[in-house]
């Protein structure tokens, strides 16, 4: 067993490369693999604390679900006219976060972007956990959640099929397909690393655990060949899904006739927004991990710089969406559309609209400057702002559109109840519970891909094996 992999504070930041200096195949494997294989008592102090806090959050989450199922959705603040509230806001918010992972893994893989290797594993894990958090909301937001299975097309004695014209029905397929493919892609990508862990583990039970998960991987050329094939196929499958999931989520709104929902720009604008907050969440997760586990040489400033650029670009698409909504409202000459914008900008909830503009559009303009993109604290804060801003975007879409629609007599207001907040905040418990388990049990950075990168960057293409080397021999 090697010494603790935690770096001492004197860190040299690398800004122009995807790897720090003096990285070798062995050092990469040791650094990443030993985080997992270190005995629990030697794990950095933050992990058990964070894990326990997250577990408590998870328990609160489970408790709030029990209350919800026992008493009914009336414990929330929803009403008529605002029949959707935190449930749908948070569903869309979480699923938006769950976009960056697959985008990084699949689309950047297809585009041969090498910089993805250090961050894709964690981003994919984040995707899956966020999709899990998101997927629970539509299941629990129904009045009679024990009948949710009626949304599945199954040949039952009722002789009834779901109603395929409803966007909620499309959601069922979009989200479940996305979750399935994301899990598969993630797991397939894990297999070579699981084998490395199996080989490096000294404890027999740990060895068996990883041995079982690594599906008998031996690192042979045939294994690698098949791995590459599967990986490419799954990347090819995932890529359209990244675009389709949030497009379909946006149809939940766009297909309706409600001013503020019925907007044709929603699909691209939702996808861009998802990428936007997904990357922000990746940064929010990687910054502390990188610091706690001393991964400065694997996740470099260049990564953050590039992620900042992606956020800037997607943020501008989102801004275009806001502007186009205003334009439509004016150009349509429809009093209801027009009022929707007036109500957003000057109505009783105008503060939330302006908060959205500030968090989502104004503050992220700092990303134009490289010195902010490569300043970790500022980038971290900008990312938090983007996550808050994207939450407000869903708040604005859901609540501000619903609370004042066509007939002024039915206008209302919406106040989240304590249970709305409890369910939302404690859903982070689920997310971080899973994430803490992930960083402890699985290699959070793809070891074999980073080794491949080391090899490529060393410039000695002929000297090393063509495939990423099999772990364990270092």
Q: What phi and psi, each to the nearest 5 degrees, are found at residue 307?
A: -65, -35
- What string of DSSP letters covers 80-131? SS----HHHHHHHHHHHHTTHHHIIIIIHHHTT-GGGGGTHHHHHHHHHHHH
Q: Is 174 in the site for other proteins (CB under 8 A)?
A: no
Rounded to a whole number of angstroms, the minimum distance from the CB of residue 152 to other proteins is 10
Among residue numbers 74 through 133, which ones bind other proteins (CB under 8 A)? 74-75, 77-84
Contact, 391 vs 89, CB < 8 A? yes
Give the tokens for residue 423. Answer: 């369910």
- The piece of 183-191, 220-228, 345-353, 438-446 that touches other proteins (CB under 8 A) is 345-353
- Measured from the CB atom, the residue of 70 and 202 that comes closer to other proteins is 70
Contact, 419 vs 75, CB < 8 A? yes
**Member of 69, 327, 330, 369 binding other proteins (CB under 8 A):** 69
Q: Is 146 in the site for other proteins (CB under 8 A)?
A: yes
Q: Is 153 in the site for other proteins (CB under 8 A)?
A: no
Q: Cis omega (within 30 of 0) on the bond before 81?
A: yes
**Member of 53, 183, 230, 255 binding other proteins (CB under 8 A):** 255
**Member of 53, 406, 456, 472 binding other proteins (CB under 8 A):** 406
| Residue that has been written with the tokens 């919406």 in this structure | 414
**Member of 49, 212, 215, 418 binding other proteins (CB under 8 A):** 418
From CA 171, how far away is CA 173, in angstroms rounded? Answer: 5
**Member of 384, 417, 456, 474 binding other proteins (CB under 8 A):** 417
- Measured from the CB atom, the residue of 15 and 332 that comes closer to other proteins is 332
CB neighbour list of residue 86: distance below 8 Å, 6 or more residues apart: 76, 77, 416, 420, 421, 423, 424
From CA 403, how far away is CA 144, in angstroms rounded? Answer: 24
- Taking residues 47 to 66 in sequence order and writing x for each that binds other proteins by CB under 8 A, - otherwise, the string is -------------------x
Q: Is 358 in the site for other proteins (CB under 8 A)?
A: no
Residue 67 CA, chain-centre distance (Å), reads 28
Q: Is 159 in the site for other proteins (CB under 8 A)?
A: no
Residues near other proteins (CB under 8 A):
66, 69-75, 77-84, 141-148, 150-151, 160-163, 165-169, 172, 252, 255-258, 334-336, 339, 348-349, 351-352, 402, 404-413, 415-419, 421
């Amino acid at each position: 067993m090697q010494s603790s992999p935690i770096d001492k504070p004197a860190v040299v930041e690398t800004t122009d490369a995807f790897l720090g200096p003096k990285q070798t195949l062995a050092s990469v494997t040791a650094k990443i693999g030993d985080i997992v294989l270190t005995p629990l008592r030697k794990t950095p102090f933050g992990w058990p604390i964070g894990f326990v806090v997250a577990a408590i959050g998870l328990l609160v989450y489970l408790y709030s679900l029990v209350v919800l199922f026992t008493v009914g959705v009336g414990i929330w603040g929803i009403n008529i006219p605002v029949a959707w509230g935190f449930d749908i806001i948070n569903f869309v918010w979480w699923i938006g976060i769950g976009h960056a992972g697959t985008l990084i893994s699949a689309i950047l893989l297809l585009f041969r972007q090498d910089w993805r290797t250090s961050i894709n594993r964690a981003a994919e894990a984040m995707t899956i956990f966020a999709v899990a958090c998101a997927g629970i909301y539509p299941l629990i937001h129904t009045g009679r959640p024990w009948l949710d299975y009626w949304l599945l097309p199954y040949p039952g004695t009722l002789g009834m099929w779901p109603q395929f014209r409803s966007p909620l029905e499309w959601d069922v397929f979009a989200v479940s397909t996305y979750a399935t493919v994301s899990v598969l892609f993630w797991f397939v990508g894990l297999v070579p690393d699981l084998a490395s862990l199996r080989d490096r583990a000294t404890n027999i039970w740990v060895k068996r655990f990883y041995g079982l998960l690594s599906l008998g991987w031996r690192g042979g050329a045939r294994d690698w060949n098949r791995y590459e094939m599967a990986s490419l196929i799954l990347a090819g499958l995932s890529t359209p899904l990244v675009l389709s999931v949030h497009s379909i989520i946006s149809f939940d709104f766009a297909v309706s006739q409600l001013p503020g929902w019925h907007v044709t720009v929603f699909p691209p604008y939702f996808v861009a927004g998802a990428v936007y907050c997904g990357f922000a969440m990746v940064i929010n997760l990687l910054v502390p991990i990188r610091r706690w586990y001393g991964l400065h040489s694997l996740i470099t400033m260049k990564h953050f710089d590039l992620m900042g650029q992606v956020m800037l670009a997607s943020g501008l698409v989102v801004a275009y969406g806001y502007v186009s909504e205003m334009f439509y409202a004016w150009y349509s000459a429809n009093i209801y559309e027009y009022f929707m914008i007036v109500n957003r900008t000057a109505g009783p909830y105008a503060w939330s609209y302006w908060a959205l503009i500030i968090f989502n559009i104004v503050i992220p303009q700092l990303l134009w400057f490289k010195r902010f993109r490569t300043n970790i604290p500022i980038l971290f804060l900008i990312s938090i702002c983007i996550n808050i801003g994207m939450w407000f975007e869903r708040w604005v879409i859901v609540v501000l559109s619903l609370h004042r629609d066509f007939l002024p007599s039915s206008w209302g207001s919406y106040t989240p109840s304590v249970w709305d907040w409890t369910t939302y905040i404690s859903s982070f418990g689920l997310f971080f519970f899973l994430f803490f388990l992930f960083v402890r049990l699985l290699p959070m950075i793809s070891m074999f891909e980073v080794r491949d990168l080391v090899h490529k960057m060393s410039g000695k293409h002929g000297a090393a094996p063509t495939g990423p080397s099999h772990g364990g021999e270092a």
